[in-house]
């Protein structure tokens, strides 16, 4: 009777401690520095494949000084994609010694062979454009990838 209990315990612990499958690693695409009325912060954009038809775009904003920004808006707009997870807008202040992350997942529309994701960073108060980048994706061999 005891060997069965020991075997059940080992199996339960072994299965519970198993590592989750590794997700696709983040591929960096854009690294920039942005200034907003004396405050400087870095913007890094990357992407990863979530599934053959879905990609996740991640923007990270990190303060590089001791000045806080005005309230900012990060807008994510698309063409040829639908949102699978997340929101298309981040709003906030980038405070000294802080880092902020915004992620959105997209699925390419059926029948489309390419899609575009545009990230725009502007000042909330007056709409002043501070930064913009565009990522182009294409369907390649049944999966969505960053266009080369």
What's the whole-model pTM score?
Answer: 0.81
> Rounded CA gap, 51 and 61, in Å?
26
Question: What per-residue confidence (pLDDT) applies to 4?
Answer: 55
Q: Using alpha carbons only, what angle is made at residue 57 by residues 29 and 116, rounded to the nearest 5 degrees?
A: 80
pLDDT at 17 over 70: no
DSSP-assigned letters across all residues of 19-84: PPPPPPPPEEEEEEEEEETTEEEEEEEEEEEEETTEEEEEEEEEE-SSPPPPPEEEEEEEESEEEE
- Residue 6: phi and psi, rounded to 5, are -65, -45
Check if the beta carbon of residue 65 is closer than 8 Å to that of residue 91.
no
Indicate the average pLDDT of the chain.
87
pLDDT tier at 18 (50, 70, 90 boundaries)?
very low
How much of the chain, in percent, has pLDDT values that exceed 90?
76
The residue ranges of every structural domain in the chain are 25-146
pLDDT in tens, 92-136: 999 998 999 999 999 999 889 999 999 999 999 999 999 999 999
pLDDT at 62 over 90: yes
How much of the chain, in percent, has pLDDT values that exceed 70?
84
Using the 8-state DSSP alphabet, how is residue 88 labeled? Answer: S
Q: Which CATH architecture has domain 25-146?
A: Sandwich (2.60)
């Amino acid at each position: 009777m005891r060997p069965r209990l020991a075997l059940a315990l080992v199996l339960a612990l072994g299965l519970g401690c198993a590592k989750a499958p590794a997700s696709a690693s983040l591929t960096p695409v854009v690294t920039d520095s942005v200034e907003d009325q004396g405050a400087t912060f870095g913007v890094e954009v990357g992407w990863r494949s979530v599934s053959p038809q879905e990609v996740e775009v991640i923007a990270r904003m990190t303060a590089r000084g001791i000045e806080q920004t005005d309230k900012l808006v990060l807008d994510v707009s698309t063409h040829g994609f639908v949102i699978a997870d997340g929101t298309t807008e981040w709003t906030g202040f980038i405070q000294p010694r802080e880092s902020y992350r915004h992620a959105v997942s997209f699925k390419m529309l059926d029948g489309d062979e390419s899609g575009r994701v545009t990230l725009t960073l502007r000042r909330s108060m007056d709409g002043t454009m501070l930064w913009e980048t565009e990522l182009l994706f294409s369907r390649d061999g049944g999966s969505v990838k960053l266009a080369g």
